[in-house]
Copies of this chain bind each other. A is one copy, B any other.
């Protein structure tokens, strides 16, 4: 049978792991796949079978774009220069077709099930599974009156949630980036392992993390007709604002009440945080600063401040975000943490925008944390580090450290 044959292929694949150099299969590979593989210097070798193709290219989204070389056996291969540690999305272009590499598991990014390779960070165990108590990630579905659809979210519950069943927990809402979805923080980010490890070492408080689907359109609202409308046109900006507003209503009117009704949460603002990466950071700023009655901890990971960051003007504390930055003392009393992070190798526009926001906040006397991830780009290693720095700062209010 075909399926029996697959089981045999699997067994056969277990016998070929010998190589003379330091290349090892990527942790992201499907079983038995030898490629892509990574050596001790962070070089990545990719291989794909395309015997009749005339041109094959490898495209790391935040990394090298390389022509692959055809071997006599119809396999195309290439070796990259050393890459920075972390998870790197890539696709392969075969005669003009952009495809994934079926040797790796799929990671939802760029609105597609992309391939990715994991370059290990020497000595870093904080985002891998360790022999410590583990929380559980749950899949939940909630019926949103805002969007008129069933919406899917992942919820991390800390170790002992099931056994200490009178304890209530604070909640971090943690959002993915544009082109990704609610699965990103677990599959790509390993947020569950990061929290397991931080909680085990008593570096952060046990908490619930809610990872929602970050796109929304109001029930009954027609899809915008953007045919012929240029990038940045008023119609397109209106469509983006509509989507952001619908998501804001979904989070504040449906998701938060659903989570508080479903799990043993501490449901006051002192025990609710929100953070997100890239688009998720912009959503976080909008939602939390519109709703300081609901949130008291705020994190923007490689994304915060919306057009303030993407545009080129400075923050106006008196008018931006309903003027919440106009009274530093009042802000500090309400917001226990304002946290902004960026990788030092991110694109100039993002880096400069966040630096400018940081400077604006300093000039406005707004207490905040500005974190720079050394050597990393607009990629998941930056955001893993962000979460590792951010989570321990949550829910400590009133405590002597």
On A, residues with C-beta under 8 Å from B are 1-12, 14-17, 30-32, 48-56, 61, 74, 91, 94-100, 102, 104-106, 108, 110-113, 129, 131, 134, 136-141, 143, 150, 162, 165, 177-179, 186, 192, 215, 217, 223-227, 231, 236, 239-240, 243, 262-263, 278-279, 303, 310, 347, 349-350, 378
Contact = CB atoms under 8 A, between A and B. Distances in A.
Protomer copies: 2
Nearest to A214: B7
B11 A111 contact: no
A30 B240 contact: no
A95 B96 CA distance: 11
Contacts of A131: 143
A95 B54 contact: yes
A398 B4 CA distance: 38
A394 B138 CA distance: 25
A113 to B, nearest CB: 4
A141 B129 contact: yes
Contact of A136 (B48, B56, B139, B231): B139
Contacts of A112: 30, 102
A7 B95 contact: no
Contacts of A106: 100, 106, 113
Contact of A227 (B15, B215, B225, B310): B15
B179 A3 contact: yes
B129 A95 contact: no
Given A15-B226, A349-B1, A53 B231 contact: no
Q: Which of A7, A95, A278 has the most CB of B within 10 A?
A: A7
Given A10-B178, A14-B217, 16 more contacts: A3-B378, A6-B111, A7-B279, A12-B224, A12-B236, A52-B95, A74-B96, A91-B102, A95-B95, A100-B113, A104-B113, A105-B108, A129-B141, A129-B150, A131-B143, A136-B139
Contacts of A215: 10, 31
Contacts of A102: 91, 98-100, 112-113
A385 B197 CA distance: 42
Nearest to A163: B262
A154 to B, nearest CB: 9
Contact of A179 (B6, B227, B239): B6
B138 A137 contact: yes
Given A50-B96, A94-B99, A134 B141 contact: yes
Given A97-B50, A223-B17, A347-B1, A32 B178 contact: no
Q: Which of A9, A31, A179 has the most CB of B within 10 A?
A: A179
The 7 closest A-B pairs by CB, nearest first: A14-B223, A50-B97, A106-B106, A6-B179, A106-B113, A51-B96, A52-B96
B224 A15 contact: yes
A384 to B, nearest CB: 17
A279 B3 contact: yes
B100 A226 contact: no
A165 B5 CA distance: 45
Given A6-B179, A15-B223, A136-B139, A31 B111 contact: yes
B14 A97 contact: no
